[in-house]
Amino acid sequence: MNAMHPKQTKIAVVTGAGSGIGRAVAAELLRTGWSVALAGRRTETLEETAALVPEGPSIAVRADVSRPDDVAALFAAVHDHFGRLDLLFNNAGTFGPGGVPLEELPYEAWRHVVDTNLNGAFLCAQAAYRRMKEQDPQGGRIINNGSISAHTPRPQSIAYTATKHALTGLTKSLSLDGRPYRIACGQIDIGNAATDMTERMRTGTLQANGELAIEPVMDVADVARTVRHMAELPLEANVQFATVLATTMPYVGRG
């Protein structure tokens, strides 16, 4: 835990902050003057994220976003430590088992992806919404991590793709329901950011035509800067949807 900076005014919660996109976004916010609550399942990886910007005011909170009690405890800790909440980056997620044909996907694997990617996002958004509605001054921003899969699926990704499509509905409903309370909500759809989760892109991943192909990736820092731009807009402005992707990845057109 790092001490709160006396001049700090913006408070963020980043879920899935122990690795990948969540770690990059958390570090970017800490480097640029935000206080950040780092949420994730493993305290040691959250502390590693905090150590990237040791001067940045942060707390590490172990939380499984699919568990209502964990989510309630997370946002209570944020309130107790920082007193308010300006931003939730709803990032925690899992792809699920790779390379499993649809007809062989166990229900337990489907349920785990849905519980993490969709139910977890809802629980965190609901908790953030309550805080933002009740606090004074009222308002805040929620940014959901969608995916290119919120638009176009990959082969053998039914659970992940279904949850990311559902996140788009969550984003739109939050954006609408938040209007009376100055709660803005947007979504960032990311394609092939270089993280552990996308390591297979560099060695060959299954394409729609059944072939394996190496795909280009982009620096995850570019994603982090985009999230910060969305986060730092005044609440009178909102990036409703943003798509950030490796320029030549197979998404636009047919390859």
Beta strands in 45-91 (DSSP E): 58-62, 87-90
Q: How far apart are CA 171 and CA 167, in angstroms?
A: 6
* Active-site pick, 107, 160, 181, 251: 160
Cα-based distances in Å from 179 to 11, 119, 173, 182? 20, 22, 10, 5
Helix (H), strand (E) at residue 15: strand 11-15
Nearest alpha carbon to residue 142 among 166, 180, 176, 174: 174
Ramachandran assignment for 19, one of left (phi > 0), alpha (psi -120 to 50 degrees), beta (any other): beta
Q: How far apart are CA 56 and CA 5, in angstroms?
A: 8
- Whether residue 107 lies in the annotated active site: no
Phi, psi dihedrals of residue 239, rounded to the nearest 5°: -85, 105
Per DSSP bridges, beta strands 11-15 and 140-145 are unpaired
Kindly list the catalytic residues. 160
